[in-house]
């Protein structure tokens, strides 16, 4: 259950994954415009939010989620489901325009045993690039983010604004 007005003394530690106090929901914090996390938002439409992922798998890794804290796709009406997928399609159009990926992984993790680190319903939109695994990735076992996240955010924000979704 999400406690919207809970005082969170050390939210940045939570957003960095160091400490995850029971009852705190990072996507609710983003939806409420918490200044420590709201700068991840790049689009908004009909009570849904498009945001950058906290730990991007690839540049342009986005999430679409409802402002309301729900944890299962089946809690959405047909109409809201349509809105969510319409925004998903917009994410793909925007990413095609800005980054020209060769493919996408789209998906949900629903329920505690699914691997979901955040229970608040969200869809991942992960652009995939044919040459994304470089030498440094192989040697160090880490991924290299090739663009400054602030630049990524500004470009995406402008593209969603152009489409009327902000
Ligand atoms: Zn939530």
Identify the CATH number of the domain in which residue 102 sits.
3.30.428.10
103 falls within a domain:
yes
5 falls within a domain:
no
Please write the tens of the pLDDT for every residue from 29-47: 999 988 877 788 999 999 9
Cβ(57)–Cβ(143) below 8 Å: yes
1 falls within a domain:
no
Question: Catalytic residue at 122?
Answer: yes
4 falls within a domain:
no
Give 130 Cα–ligand 1 centroid separation in angstroms: 34
Give 106 Cα–ligand 1 centroid separation in angstroms: 20
25 falls within a domain:
yes
Give 96 Cα–ligand 1 centroid separation in angstroms: 29
DSSP strands (E only) in 74-163: 103-107, 123-128
Q: In what order do the strands lie in the sheet with 62-66?
A: 41-45, 48-52, 62-66, 123-128, 103-107
Q: Is the pLDDT of residue 70 over 90?
A: yes
**Mean of pLDDT values over 83-112:** 95
143 falls within a domain:
yes
Taking the whole predicted model, whether its pTM rises above 0.85 is answered as: no
6 falls within a domain:
no
Cβ(116)–Cβ(78) below 8 Å: no
Please write the tens of the pLDDT for every residue from 108-120: 999 888 888 899 9
98 falls within a domain:
yes
pLDDT band at 59 (very low <50, low <70, confident <90, very high): confident
Per the structure, how many domains does the chain have?
A: 1
Q: Which domain holds residue 75?
A: 11-162
Q: What share of the chain is helix, strand, coil (3-state, %, to 5)?
A: 35, 15, 45
Q: Is the pLDDT of residue 16 over 50?
A: no
């Amino acid at each position: 259950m999400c406690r919207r007005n809970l005082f969170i003394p050390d939210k940045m530690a939570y957003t960095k994954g160091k400490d995850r106090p029971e009852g705190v929901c990072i996507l609710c914090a983003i939806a409420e415009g918490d200044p420590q996390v709201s700068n991840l938002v790049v689009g908004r439409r009909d009570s849904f939010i498009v945001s950058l992922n906290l730990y991007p798998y690839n540049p342009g890794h986005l999430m679409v989620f409802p402002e309301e804290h729900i944890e299962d796709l089946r809690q959405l009406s047909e109409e809201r489901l349509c809105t969510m997928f319409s925004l998903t399609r917009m994410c793909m159009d925007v990413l095609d325009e800005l980054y020209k990926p060769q493919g996408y992984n789209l998906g949900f993790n629903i329920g505690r045993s699914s691997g979901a680190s955040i229970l608040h319903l969200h869809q991942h939109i992960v652009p995939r690039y044919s040459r994304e695994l470089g030498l440094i990735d192989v040697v160090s076992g880490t991924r290299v983010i090739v663009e400054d996240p602030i630049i990524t955010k500004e470009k995406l924000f402008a593209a969603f604004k152009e489409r009327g979704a902000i």
